[in-house]
Structure 1
Amino acid sequence: MSETNDLTSAEARIWRAFPRGESVDFRAAEEEDPALANAWGAERTVRASVLRALLIKAPQEEREIAALKITGARITGVLDLKHATIDAAIRLSHCRFDGVPDLYGAQLRELNLSKSVLPGLTAETLRVDGVLRMTGCRMRGPVRLGGVQVSGALFMEETEFTAPDDSEPVLQLNQAVIGADLWAPEMRANGQVRLTGASVAGRINVQDAELNQPGGTALDAQNLNVGAHVRARRVRAQGGVELRGSRIAGRLDLLHAHLSHRGGTALRASSCVIGELWLLGGDRIEGALNLRRSRIEIMNVEPEILPDQVFISNLTYTVLTPHEPAERRLPMLERDGDRYEPYGYEQLTAAYRHVGDDDAARLVQLAKQRRRRTTLTWYGRLWGYLQDGIVGYGFRPLRAAVCLLSLMAIGSIAYGLDHPKPVKAGEGPAFNPVFYTLDLLLPIISFGQESAFAPVGWHQWLSYTLIITGWILATTIVAGVTRTVSRQ
């Protein structure tokens, strides 16, 4: 190839170092900024075509392991390794690329682009048998890694992703398969990050990352599969975070996170299977929270974090922490639109019973009946108000006892002061005001008093009142007992 016959001094130096795996460092100082590579001269400029020829030809030396290790070079042209199989490790750190490297379908042993500045990267279906490292890179165009397979870890900590326009995501990792961790703390993405259908065997760490796509989807990670935790502490997302259909075996850790998508859904984790969800200590979510149809073993959520819209239809969870009074948890159920969803109340009740807080569980059930009452016809609502006022829908049975005792006292005193006349004089039992009142109040039990005496005037109106009230109390008490027995 013509490039190998006319090597510059910098290229010749690289050519000699490659067979022995030696490093070539062109930097004048360690803190040099590769973004200023336009000022670098020919003594540290390398043609991408020469690097391609070197990697394809792969000159060897006996008992040495070849590797391409360059630091602080300006690489002109396009590094084209489409469909190439490269056995040597590649490290191009602190470099400036003038063209977008094309690694589509390539098979590499290891690739390290740390601290380099690139106008983008095309590497769909790339296969890396070791580690893919892009630590501290500055990507000035789309990074296309769809379908990439990395047997080791993928490192992108402190990496910046930007693009001239937002016509496509700045980072595409859709359908990627990572054999270890995806490590990207303090990553900065000005545009959408796409992880749809990706599989990560280990952890995902995006702690302190910034994801900016205002008005759109900042992170599209639908159907993501993670074998361990997702650590997203203090992450700042301007735009929606989409996790619909994902499976996270460990913890989705959003401790001290800031999620904002005003007018849209800030976090959609619907139809997910998650070990633990942590929403603690951060700012109040700006935008809706959607957890519909998900299964979460442990929900660690502070009430203050939740936004005005929380969609939890058919959400299943076992434990809800931190332990809060029912009054602080109930608003979460009332923010799921105007529809009455009994399942949410049942889940919250089960969570309180799981920790032995039966009082809170009863309050949730009472709130469920009151919410259901709003969906009934006017006469159904009237009957509901009556049940609520007398016995709290069966969850406050002491109210019925107090009502019965109060009515019994009123009737006993009233009839004790002025006895009703007997039906047949000289026949029947002697009048007893207490048992006569009980005969009127209790619709089933009979002490023989009611049939033996015939009230008139105000006695009669009082008896009507006691009979009607007794039937209402008896019906509501039976309904309450039925609910208690069915819960047990």
Structure 2
Amino acid sequence: MEIDDLTPAERRVWRAFAIGEEVNFRTGRAEWGPARTVRARVLRSVLLGGPRQPGETAALRLRGARITGPLDLRNACVESVVHLTHCRFEDAVDLDGAQLRYFSLRDSELPRLSATRARFDGNLRLTRCRVGGPVRVDGARIGGLLLLDGAVLTPGDTSEPALRLNHLAVDDDLYAPGLSAGGQVRLDGAHVAGSVDLTGARLEGAGATALHAQPLAVEGDLLLRESRVAGRIDLRGARVTGRLDLSYAELSHPGQTALRASSATIGELWLRGGPPVRGTLNLRRSQIDVLFLDPGMLPAEVLVNSLVYTSLTPHEPAERRLPMLERDGDGYVPHAYEQLTAAYRRIGDDHGARVVQLAKQRRHRRTLPWYGRVWGAVQDVTVGYGFRPLRAAGWLLSLLAIGSAAFALHHPPPLKADEAPPFSPVFYTLDLLLPVISFGQDASFAPRGGYQVLAHVLVLTGWILATTVIAGITRTVSRQ
């Protein structure tokens, strides 16, 4: 391209490129007129064959320009850094397959951006960009940061993702606090060597999935603190080495799954401080080292079948943790109770562990046939399935007092008057209650009428108590 073919504004850009000087069209100009208009094909010519000056580093630094026509850099090799800040693009920016050093569109406005399979030696910066169409960076490789902080993505067609980062590889952070996406964000198969920061993001899934990232790999943290997500967050199979932080977040997908982090491997999962999740929380088959779970954020349905976690914080009474297991849409899940029991035992809270195990037995009882439920109720009332052993002593003492008082008022007649030992109402009652121990009283005296009925009741009750105590002790010993 000859310089004579350029407008005065374009000549400024052409000359400044050779020495890496910034051209600022914003000074004192509010309108987007010819004085600040640059054709996209001129920018392409500058980047691919612009002037060079010995001893200077060529760079395209443009601020506040109106750029007309599509900026087509497909499969181009651009050796200069590119700063196109506060610019207004009339057409799309196409970087598919391009190789670039550093590319910044900070504070710019454009209809759409495509950079599939592009390679960036440094950063790709879209800070506070306003994009009216989809942004596609599928399969790209970014050697530095991908910056989307404060970006506003409002695609007209909500059936297409607002931001597609499938199979993206970022050697540093994906930095996007305050991102606003009016459509789905996709990170399928992406790998981020640093952290993914979506703090304060606003993600609108248009009634479906807002963030689709299976299986995403993040070597650092995945931060969604104070974010507002309308739609499903799908992290099935994701691997987050650091922390998945949903503190103070507002997750909403009523009647559907709000957070799906099943079959995932996560260092720490923080769900605290925010309003209750509106939708299902799915953590099936995941492995989590630290589960920081605020009971107040739990939704009406929680799926934790085969979830494995090392520690559960903050420390809460077992009674506040049990509703999470009661809300499991899979029904009775023994593994979930065992995991919660192990978490309490790990911190030395034996009382909490016993409360969880007792709740497990009661939940299991509901799945049994009627006769199993009856026997379970007897074990529960008498000894609390072995977790309330003092109840048996209370029952025995009460029955001993009742029997002793009754037989003290009416001594049963001896079977053989000349051979019977002196009658003792206390030891006679003990003989009836204790099925193994004998004090020689029950074999020597024979009550009649209502007292005979009382004796039979004491014998039957003694056997039930003994059986339930043995069952409870056996269950406790087997767990130890």
User: TM-score, normalised on structure 2?
Assistant: 0.96
Q: Which residue of structure 1 lines up, in the alignment, with residue 355 of structure 2?
A: 363
Deviation for aligned residue 1:315: 1.3
Q: Residue 343 in 1 paired to residue 335 in 2?
A: yes
Deviation for aligned residue 1:338: 6.1
CA contact (8 A) 2:80 2:101 kept: yes
Q: Which residue of structure 2 lines up, in the alignment, with residue 409 of structure 1?
A: 401
CA contact (8 A) 2:66 2:87 kept: yes
Report SS of the residue matched to 2:411: coil
The CA deviation string for residues 464-487 of structure 1, in whole angstroms up to 9 with x for no partner, is 111110110001101111122223
Report SS of the residue matched to 2:82: strand
CA contact (8 A) 2:81 2:102 kept: yes
Q: Which residue of structure 2 lines up, in the alignment, with residue 6 of structure 1?
A: 5
Deviation for aligned residue 1:390: 1.0
Deviation for aligned residue 1:411: 2.0
Deviation for aligned residue 1:125: 0.8
Aligned length in residues: 480
Deviation for aligned residue 1:428: 5.3
Which of the residues 238, 262, 268 maps onto 1:246? 238
Separation (CA, whole Å) in 2 of partners of 1:144 and 1:272 = 26
Q: Which amino acid aligns with 2:16?
A: A
Separation (CA, whole Å) in 2 of partners of 1:347 and 1:58 = 65
Q: Which residue of structure 1 lines up, in the alignment, with residue 94 of structure 2?
A: 102
Separation (CA, whole Å) in 1 of partners of 2:8 and 2:108 = 22
Which of the residues 190, 202, 211 maps onto 2:203? 211
Greater shift in the superposed pair: 280-289 or 119-128: 280-289
Unpaired segments of 5 or more residues in structure 2? none
Greater shift in the superposed pair: 51-60 or 202-211: 51-60
Once the two structures are aligned, what percentage of the paired residues are identical?
58
Q: Which residue of structure 2 lines up, in the alignment, with residue 36 of structure 1?
A: none
Q: Residue 300 in 1 paired to residue 292 in 2?
A: yes
Q: Residue 86 in 1 paired to residue 78 in 2?
A: yes
Separation (CA, whole Å) in 2 of partners of 1:329 and 1:15 = 67
Which of the residues 45, 54, 59 maps onto 1:53? 45
Deviation for aligned residue 1:339: 1.5
The alignment yields a C-alpha RMSD, in angstroms, of 1.7
Q: Residue 193 in 1 paired to residue 185 in 2?
A: yes
Deviation for aligned residue 1:140: 0.8
Separation (CA, whole Å) in 2 of partners of 1:472 and 1:263 = 47
Q: Residue 324 in 1 paired to residue 312 in 2?
A: no
CA contact (8 A) 1:214 1:261 kept: no
Q: Which residue of structure 2 lines up, in the alignment, with residue 16 of structure 1?
A: 15
Unpaired segments of 5 or more residues in structure 1? 33-38
Q: Which amino acid aligns with 2:419?
A: E
Q: Which residue of structure 2 lines up, in the alignment, with residue 136 of structure 1?
A: 128
User: TM-score, normalised on structure 1?
Assistant: 0.94
Greater shift in the superposed pair: 254-263 or 351-360: 351-360
CA contact (8 A) 2:182 2:206 kept: no
The CA deviation string for residues 257-308 of structure 1, in whole angstroms up to 9 with x for no partner, is 1111112111111111111111111112111111111111122221111111
Q: Which residue of structure 2 lines up, in the alignment, with residue 68 of structure 1?
A: 60
Report SS of the residue matched to 1:452: coil
Separation (CA, whole Å) in 1 of partners of 2:451 and 2:274 = 66
Q: Residue 116 in 1 paired to residue 115 in 2?
A: no
Separation (CA, whole Å) in 1 of partners of 2:386 and 2:53 = 87
Q: Which residue of structure 2 lines up, in the alignment, with residue 227 of structure 1?
A: 219
Q: Which residue of structure 2 lines up, in the alignment, with residue 427 of structure 1?
A: 419
Which of the residues 244, 255, 265 maps onto 1:263? 255
Which of the residues 443, 454, 464 maps onto 1:472? 464
Separation (CA, whole Å) in 1 of partners of 2:330 and 2:468 = 28
CA contact (8 A) 1:4 1:50 kept: no
CA contact (8 A) 1:153 1:181 kept: yes
Report SS of the residue matched to 1:447: coil
Separation (CA, whole Å) in 2 of partners of 1:292 and 1:383 = 32
Greater shift in the superposed pair: 423-432 or 257-266: 423-432
Separation (CA, whole Å) in 2 of partners of 1:456 and 1:411 = 14
Deviation for aligned residue 1:192: 0.8
Deviation for aligned residue 1:318: 2.0
Separation (CA, whole Å) in 1 of partners of 2:136 and 2:174 = 16
Separation (CA, whole Å) in 1 of partners of 2:410 and 2:150 = 91
